[in-house]
Amino acid sequence: MKTSCEALVIGGGPAGAVAAALLAQAGWSVVVLERKSFPRRKVCGEYLSATNWPLLVQLGVDEAVHRQAGPAVRRVGLFVGEHALTAELPLSDVCGGRWGRALSRERLDSLLLDRAAALGAEVLQPWDAQSLTEVEGGFVCRAASTTTAETREFETPIVIAAHGSWEFGELPTQLARGRPRAGDLLGFKTHFQHAELPDGLMPLLCFPGGYGGMVHVDEGRISLSCCVRREQLEQIQRTEGRSDGEAVRAHIEKSTPAVRRVLETATTGERWLSAGPIRPGIRDCYRQGIFRVGNAAGEAHPAVAEGITMAMQSAQLLAEHLGPQRDAIRTKQTRDVVGRNYTYAWRAAFARRIRVSAAIANWAMRPTYVQACLPIIKHFPKLLTWGARQSGKIDFPSRYEATTDAGRLSPYLAE
């Protein structure tokens, strides 16, 4: 059986769900394929920047996020060794004085995908997109249910790859499995109850061979998420000899007493999740006729906690570019023009954030460098506020108007 739709979205995480919701809201016929059943837990710190509020309002989920999320996050912190420094987060005047909040991925992702379905997108779950074939006027995607033997084919002029960057597969947009390297960053996450983290504080944790973050999420829990270099993890496993997650926790607590104090009273009923290696960097936003959003297009180091925001906002950018072309989009020429303009807008909005995140991550993984900077930061705590601003905490992609003038595209496309 072949089903036709105007847009096929592969992946139902924040990027895919928002792309599907916005296109469905504009009247497009949209199919979403998501290989996992929701709700599902995910490696992530779960912080959502304040700049998402206008989009959450547009989608009609702002009240639900407001009701369920943890307390307003007003302060950024830096935990290294014994030291715990804090400063104000920058506040944007464009989001009505609202602050960022954190919501567990089992809740956020379900909320967004349910909203896409309520707005008219057909959501197939758990369904795996297995192959894409280019045909006249677009693509045919072959998909299979992961719980039954059922398979289906979808014919569509627009494919939006929103499958993230940490899983492998046969699609032309999926990253190849690389050989393990010492510098690979592996992601870990769990939730704790009864932790002693002050409300509204989100510290960056700096420890040898990795970095992490903590923040209050829903139900009185905090998330602790981190990235650890593979070679460091192997060394930790040799000395700690426990499960990976518990060994990582022991390593962080040993090297960063500021974290140990927060977790002294904490309990956890959840097992640690792991993922990766993560693949930070700038990728193609449009290639071989396929659009990409979220981590599939580019990924910031989690040190800046901007990945969900970039996922949702890149989907919004793409929907803004596709919207006016609905009638013409079946031609490859139109798709190419939209692809170029979207790429330009994406890079203007997110490329700097990704570069800043790499600089912060490389610094945070070397606590001796961080400690060397402490006297200056203690004297000028606003440097932490400045760092948060540089990482995009109050940037809006919509500030960057897309252009249809091909001449203006080149500086970004040439990178």
Task: List residues binding ligand FAD (CB under 6 A).
Answer: 10-16, 33-36, 43-47, 128-129, 162-164, 167, 169, 171, 187, 189, 225-227, 278, 294-295, 299, 302, 305-309, 311
Round to whole Å and give the CA distance between 32 and 7. 9
The answer to whether the beta carbons of residues 36 and 187 sit under 8 Å apart is no
Q: Residue 286 corresponds to which tokens in the numbers above?
A: 């449009």
Q: Residue 60 corresponds to which tokens in the numbers above?
A: 């009609």
Provide the minimum distance between the beta carbon of 276 and ligand FAD in the complex, in angstroms, as a whole number.
7
H/E run at residue 255: helix 244-255
Comparing CB distances to ligand FAD, the nearer of 45 and 367 is 45
Comparing CB distances to ligand FAD, the nearer of 25 and 225 is 225
The DSSP secondary structure of 376-394, one letter per residue, reads HHHH-THHHHHHHHHTTTT
Provide the minimum distance between the beta carbon of 17 and ligand FAD in the complex, in angstroms, as a whole number.
8
Provide the minimum distance between the beta carbon of 234 and ligand FAD in the complex, in angstroms, as a whole number.
18
The answer to whether the beta carbons of residues 8 and 305 sit under 8 Å apart is no
Comparing CB distances to ligand FAD, the nearer of 188 and 409 is 188
Comparing CB distances to ligand FAD, the nearer of 64 and 141 is 141
Provide the minimum distance between the beta carbon of 167 and ligand FAD in the complex, in angstroms, as a whole number.
5
Q: Residue 188 corresponds to which tokens in the numbers above?
A: 């870990």
Comparing CB distances to ligand FAD, the nearer of 32 and 258 is 32
Taken as a whole, the chain contains a residue count of: 415
Comparing CB distances to ligand FAD, the nearer of 80 and 185 is 185
Which amino acid does the sequence have at 299?
A: E
Residue 176, classified by CB atoms within 10 Å of its CB into exposed (0-12), middle (13-18) or buried (19+), is exposed
Provide the minimum distance between the beta carbon of 336 and ligand FAD in the complex, in angstroms, as a whole number.
23
Comparing CB distances to ligand FAD, the nearer of 5 and 227 is 227
Comparing CB distances to ligand FAD, the nearer of 36 and 366 is 36
Round to whole Å and give the CA distance between 277 and 253. 23
SS3 state at 58 = helix
Strands 221-229 and 185-193: antiparallel
Comparing CB distances to ligand FAD, the nearer of 109 and 409 is 109
Provide the minimum distance between the beta carbon of 125 and ligand FAD in the complex, in angstroms, as a whole number.
9
Provide the minimum distance between the beta carbon of 310 and ligand FAD in the complex, in angstroms, as a whole number.
7
CA dist 143 → 29, 36, 137, 173, 263 (Å): 18, 13, 19, 15, 44
Comparing CB distances to ligand FAD, the nearer of 236 and 308 is 308
Provide the minimum distance between the beta carbon of 294 and ligand FAD in the complex, in angstroms, as a whole number.
2
The DSSP secondary structure of 311-354, one letter per residue, reads HHHHHHHHHHHHGGGTTTTTSHHHHHHHHHHHHHHHHHHHHHHH
> Residue 210 forms beta bridges with which residues?
207, 228
The answer to whether the beta carbons of residues 350 and 281 sit under 8 Å apart is no
Comparing CB distances to ligand FAD, the nearer of 98 and 189 is 189
What is the signed CA dihedral for 74, 80, 85, 86, rounded to 10 degrees? -10
Provide the minimum distance between the beta carbon of 380 and ligand FAD in the complex, in angstroms, as a whole number.
25
Provide the minimum distance between the beta carbon of 86 and ligand FAD in the complex, in angstroms, as a whole number.
17
Round to whole Å and give the CA distance between 321 and 310. 16
Provide the minimum distance between the beta carbon of 221 and ligand FAD in the complex, in angstroms, as a whole number.
14
Round to whole Å and give the CA distance between 204 and 100. 16
